[in-house]
Structure 1
Amino acid sequence: MKWLKITLSVLSISVIATVLVVKQQVESYMKTPMKISEPRELWVERGASMNGTLNKLARQGDLIDVWKFKLYLKLYPEHQNLQKGVYQLTPKDTPLTLITKLNTGDVKKYRVTLIEGHTIQQWLALLQRQPRLEVDNDIFEQVLKLNGDTSGKPEGKFFPDTYQYTSSTKLLDILNQSYKKMQTELQKIWDNRAENVQVNSPYELLILASIIEKETAKPSERDVISAVFNNRLSKKMRLQTDPTVIYGMGERFKGNITRKDLREKTPFNTYRINGLPPTPIAAPSLASIQAAAHPADVNYLYFVSRNDGSHIFSRTLRQHNRAVNQYQRNRK
């Protein structure tokens, strides 16, 4: 019997040694990069199994020796948890980083930037090109309804910013976040506005900010342009600003404004109407809202483009006409 005990002991040692070797091989395999040549997505649907997901990766050539991966899961059954979603696979991924993603639900993050100075229609076109988003044409109106906002169009009421989302995020939730952020920031700025601001409500401030946004891209000019508009409103002068005319023209605008366009009486033609247009004409940036609420301490009433992104500001119509002749009509 002694020889049998010795034989069993040798076999046991051999089995244990084999198990340890296999375990080391499996753990080494789990740290070895997968066969992914370029970044791509892995879609894990609701109800998918871990084995099914691994088999799919093996069929696609992303995993070799998939049996080692499955053996690892036998050794560590706590890693069998699988969460649905879209995952980002990269050439640096190993089976270990993959299983960590699948276990924790570390799904792919997407980003969408709602650009300042753009209109709702431009944002809709942008959103329709975004991956993993379902876009209804009235989605902005849906957000207004959700918040009990019945005061006009959605134009200008959403905060331009970069928003992160996943494949399971609803666009309604992204835009609701944008809407609430705009309302919060707008109210904060309105509560701390300068005393000489010539508008009567946060919404009017938003309208004015949208015009400032479209008139200049130079940060140093925003509060000066704000002063021009506030000064004109104070004197009951018409704003006479081209971006409002362009907005009122809609799809008819082809790059130029004619004299006929300036004479046409639309709700947005500030050459023909008194005061502000009825709604914002674009999404103003936070800087433009700040400028609308804090105009510069200057008495300018006019400005004209230098054609390089900057403007010449004037106190009198005579000065303004000279600037127009010099920079717009090329006269000396």
Structure 2
Amino acid sequence: MFRKLVISVLIIAVLAATLAGWLFFTANTAFSEKSKYLYIRTGHATWPEVLQTFRDSNLVNNTAMLDLLATRLDVPEKIKAGRYELKNGMSLMDITRLLRNGTQAPVKLIITKLRTKENLAGFLGRKMEIDSMDVVAYFADSLQPFGFDSNTVIAMIYPNTYTFFWNASLGTIFDKFYGEYKKVWTDARRDEARKLGLTPLQAYTLASIVEEETQALSEKDTIASVYLNRLHKGMRLQADPTVKFALKDFTLKRIYEKHTEVESPYNTYRNTGLPPGPICTPSLQTLDAVLQPAQTNYFYFVAKSDFSGHHVFSETFDQHVKVANDFRNAQNVQQAIRAAKDSAAKHK
């Protein structure tokens, strides 16, 4: 009788161990996507809160068994804030080890074009744990050691892919931005800027204007030459993109005289010289086009009337007036055609 009891207990134990092994080591994710992310906020890395997130987000099929396994492996004492990638098909053991080891999934910040410091703050607020308002406060209080301020902070940011942990501090983020800035501003680039009579900030600011003027890489060094010629002669730049920036209206397709009257240090129709900071993050190709400009006698340029995205360059104002009128007439015709199409569509 005793022997039968022992055998029965052993069988039950084996079955229980088999069931536990099946629950712990087989796929237990409850979503169909390739992966999902578990976000554990700083100050909320307590196991009850994390477990509730698993329940609320329906990340696993069996939160009770996850709780049991995690408790046995000391996860509640070791868990850390961060961003964790849960891949479809992971077992409870895989997930528990991930959390126990604090193996975060890094965030890739892909910066292409940003225009304003508010854009930058919002971008970081969306991608990282940081609140965008904390980023704005950081601009006001913490940029001095890097040699920047809230007007020039964009000049510290270069288009690239930056990798961080989701809960990285602002100090860590801007240290990396500044590290990239120092890589860009080699002795050779600094020397090129100096020969043009520009500081790195001024060269970057001019590059930001050129970046907004054209997407045609072949024209960037020529457009840069126009603005440099104007600067050296003491003429106002009269750059339309600076007016858009001053108005904070980047949807404007056509700049009228009423737009150029806006009072702003960024309005180069009213102010001589470069604006106090960049109006976007230019590409390195654009920066190098500014540092290695074409040698021209051009002082004016206007978009071609075929709307190809290219420009006509002129040495004299009289030459410029003629081609500028051609472009305005083409714009008027285009607007009239668009208005006729809109009117016809409304009356259908």
Give the structure-2-normalised TM-score. Answer: 0.72
3-state DSSP of counterpart to 2:143: helix
- Separation in 2, partners of 1:305, 1:55: 59
User: Are the aligned partners of 2:117 and 2:150 in contact in 1 as well (CA < 8 Å)?
Assistant: no
- Cα pair 2:220 2:289 within 8 Å, conserved: yes
Amino acid at match of 1:170: S
Q: CA RMSD in A?
A: 4.2
Distance 1:142 1:309, change over 3 A: farther
**Any idea what SS the aligned residue of 1:328 has?**
helix
Larger radius of gyration: 1
**1:82 maps onto 2:84 in alignment:** no
The aligned residue for residue 32 of structure 1 is 26
1:204-219 matches, cutoff 5 A: 204-219=202-217
Q: What amino acid is aligned across from residue 118 of structure 1 in structure 2?
A: R
* Match in the other structure for 2:130: 133
2: CA distance, partners of 1:160 / 1:58? 39
Paired letter, 1:154: V
| Contact 1:268–1:278 (8 Å) recurs in 2 | yes
| 1:241-320 equivalences in 2 (<5 Å) | 241-250=239-248, 256-262=254-260, 266-306=264-304, 307-320=307-320
Q: What is the deviation of 1:72?
A: 9.3
**CA-CA distance at 1:98 after TM superposition:** 0.7
TM-superposition CA deviations, 1:51-88 (whole Å, max 9, x none): 986687479762338459846986xx588873222433
CA displacement 1:133-183 (0-9 Å, x = unmatched): 222233223331343546964343333434344442223432342244224
Question: Judging changes above 3 Å, is the alpha-carbon distance between structure 1 residues 36 and 131 closer, same or farther for their aligned structure 2 residues?
Answer: farther
Letter of the aligned partner of 1:175 in structure 2? Answer: F
Query: How far apart are 1:295 and its partner, in Å?
Result: 0.9
In 2: Cα distance, 1:265 partner to 1:304 partner: 24
Task: Determine the C-alpha separation between the residues in 1 that align with 2:154 and 2:65.
Answer: 56
What is the SS of the residue equivalent to 2:215?
Answer: coil
1:199 to 175, 183, 197: 197
The percent of aligned pairs where both chains have the same amino acid is 25
Amino acid corresponding to residue 102 of structure 1 in structure 2: L
In the other structure, the counterpart of 2:167 is 168
Offset at residue 215 of structure 1 (A): 1.2
Determine whether 1:328 maps to 2:345. no
Task: Return the letter of the residue paired with 1:31.
Answer: F
Deviation of 1:293 (Å): 0.8
Partner of 1:105: 102
SS in 2 for 1:87: strand
C-alpha contact 1:112 1:164 (8 A) present in aligned 2? yes
After superposition, the Cα gap between the structure-2 partners of 1:151 and 1:244, relative to the gap in structure 1 and judged at 3 Å, is same
Partner AA of 2:323 in structure 1: A
Report what 2:92 is aligned to.
95
Contact 2:46 2:76 in 1 (8 A): no
Query: Which position in structure 2 is the counterpart of 1:156?
Result: 155
Alpha-carbon distance in structure 2 between the residues aligned to 1:167 and 1:252: 30
Alpha-carbon distance between aligned partners in 2 of 1:140 and 1:65, rounded to the nearest angstrom: 43
Kindly indicate whether the alpha-carbon contact (under 8 Å) linking 2:157 and 2:177 is maintained by their aligned counterparts in 1.
yes
3-state SS in 1 of match to 2:153: coil
Q: Deviations over 1:197-220 (max 9, x none)?
A: 533322221221121122112222
Contact 1:141 1:154 in 2 (8 A): no
Query: Equivalent residue for 1:221?
Result: 219
8 A contact 2:239–2:269 mirrored in 1: yes
Q: Is the Cα contact below 8 Å between 1:143 and 1:176 reproduced in 2?
A: no
In the alignment, residue 138 of structure 2 is paired with which amino acid?
I
User: How far did 1:126 drift?
Assistant: 3.4
In 2, Cα distance between the equivalents of 1:60 and 1:252? Answer: 38
- What is aligned with 2:118? 121
Q: Secondary structure at the match of 2:155?
A: coil
Partner Cα separation in structure 1 for residue 265 and residue 70 of structure 2: 69
The residue identity in structure 1 corresponding to 2:25 is K
AA aligned to 1:33 is A
Q: Given that residues 66 and 92 in structure 2 are in contact (C-alpha distance below 8 angstroms), is that contact kept between their aligned partners in structure 1?
A: no
* TM-fit CA distance, 1:241: 1.4
* 8 Å Cα contact 2:157/2:181 also seen in 1: yes
Q: What SS does the corresponding residue of 1:312 show, helix, strand or coil?
A: strand
